[in-house]
Structure 1
Amino acid sequence: MKHALRITGFSCLALTTGCADKQPNTFIFTADLPPDFAYRAAVYYVPAPGETCTVETRYNKAPVFNREWRKAYKPDSEIVIHRTRMGCPLVIHRIELEINSAYGKDWSDISQDSANVVIRDALEEQYKGVFSDAGESIFYGQCQWLFRTSGRPRILRKILDCKKTNPQGKLGRGRPFSAYTVDQLPGKTVTMKIRLAREERPYMEDTWVKVPNGWKRCMGENFEDSYAFCFGNYQDFSAFQMPDGRKCTIYPGCTE
């Protein structure tokens, strides 16, 4: 009887250990973004190591997360690591990210920039993202609004420009980015943390003039001049139209 109980105990222990060792097949991607910002994520896969099968690009992509980000946005996305499509075992390869925000109410009053997460079977240590004891890895970036005018009415448009930073906010080269190995991801959380620059700046140099309470748009040759560079003329300025229809002479305050 004792021998039988001992065998049963060992079997239960082995079963329990086996269950504990089985890693989840998902991880969480999330983002800490400025107000009124949202991300859109497309996840791509490649055949798992050792597989000779191939899958067309249109079939190796997971459903896009936050596709309709202006209507419904969820910061947490549960992402599958291994999946099978068309009979081919696949493994996650990269996440292509859009950082989006709207500066007006019209459907076209939006702008976006990109970010990326790369996943490989192996990486040099210097390129691998690091996870905390709590299972979270954070990568950082900063976005800044750039403004310009377009069209004969000179309507103000805004462009989002995002760069990667270190944890202290120092700007780096390129877009926000991080990289991991496949075996780092099961059950973990990857967070993209983006801050917004305090000041906006003109999209093109020598088109606006900084004044004490904002920026004034150089006239250029006339309203037909689509670029309207200042070219040393810092006396003649142009009115412009805000996205909401207001007629303004200074940005961002509209009236002086």
Structure 2
Amino acid sequence: MIRRALRPLCLALLIAPLSACGTLGSLFAERFTFEGELPADFALRAQAHYYVTESNCPGLVSRSQLTKSFETEFQPEPHSYRFAIPASYRIGICQARLGRVALYIKGKHGEKEWQQTYDNGELRVVEELPEGFTSFLPDGTLRRRAVCTWWFQKSHAISRVGEIEKILNCTGAGAYLLNQELGGKTVRLDFVLNPEEEPSRHDTWIQFPEGWKPCLPKPGWQRCQNPPLFQTFKMNGQECTVYPNCTE
């Protein structure tokens, strides 16, 4: 009875629009779990990029059908994320396979729009692991850790000249994944925040026990004069001499 019931459905799908077949194919997609932890005031967007394996398919599949996005929002406390990402799925008569997952690691250091920024990472699907990289453990998990650091600097934007702004820099935000091993596996990527902030450019601020002081650059250069001469900066509407405490 089950076979008889499925036969009309399959015939209908053969003559139905490709979008309907793609929907059915997505129900049976081979997936893996992508999960981890994020610091407070962080968010993550993962954009999966696919390619078709049949030579006659590119004209039948739109670019939007070959990308899937997954996203978590900013939260004021540390929080977790979990996405179920297809490793492959069908779009009509075409087979789509995962090529990579682009990561947009978003952080904010204030409530204004310009106080939000991001860094990039990537999960890359490969046929063979590069030397020095490991695959999934026997329990089906692959664990990685990314360390994110805030790089601070004086803004040169006309609307906020001299105001402290920050750049997000995350190291270790990615992994290589073997395509034949993805189905049913778990990739865990935890993001941790480095408590020590750093200047965005070497030799533009000098560190003292009370904090960092910005120095005047050499004429025509960005680096500090020698001996250094120091300047002020703005932070939260105040004129400051040392970062992050503003005053010494």
Change (3 A) 1:135 1:148: same
Structure number with higher helix proportion: 2
| Structure 2 residue aligned with 1:96 | 102
How far 1:141 sits from its partner (Å)? 2.2
Q: List per-residue Cα deviations over 1:52-81 (Å, max 9, x = no partner).
A: 31144343111x211x73389871111112
- Residues 236-251 of structure 1 correspond to what in structure 2 (within 5 A)? 236-242=229-235, 244-251=236-243
Percentage identity across paired residues of the two chains = 28
Structure 1, gaps ≥5 residues long: 1-22, 165-175
Structure 1 runs of 4+ with >6 Å offset: 71-74
Q: List per-residue Cα deviations over 1:181-211 (Å, max 9, x = no partner).
A: 2221112111112322232111112221111
Question: TM-score, normalising length from structure 2?
Answer: 0.75
Match of 2:162 among 148, 154, 179: 154
| Structure 2 residue aligned with 1:184 | 181
- Residues 76-95 of structure 1 correspond to what in structure 2 (within 5 A)? 76-85=82-91, 87-95=93-101
8 Å CA contact 1:216, 1:237 repeated in 2: yes
| Structure 2 residue aligned with 1:109 | 115
CA distance in 1, matches of 2:30, 2:209: 56
| Structure 2 residue aligned with 1:69 | 73
Q: CA RMSD in A?
A: 2.8
How far 1:238 sits from its partner (Å)? 1.8
Change (3 A) 1:124 1:160: closer
SS in 1 for 2:114: coil
8 Å CA contact 1:129, 1:180 repeated in 2: no
- Answering whether residue 193 of structure 2 is matched by residue 193 of structure 1, we say no
Structure 2, gaps ≥5 residues long: 1-27
How far 1:148 sits from its partner (Å)? 0.5
Q: List per-residue Cα deviations over 1:214-249 (Å, max 9, x = no partner).
A: 01111348xxx9975422142x3222112x323321
CA distance in 1, matches of 2:199, 2:84: 38
SS in 1 for 2:51: strand
CA distance in 2, matches of 1:76, 1:185: 16
Match of 2:226 among 213, 228, 232: 232
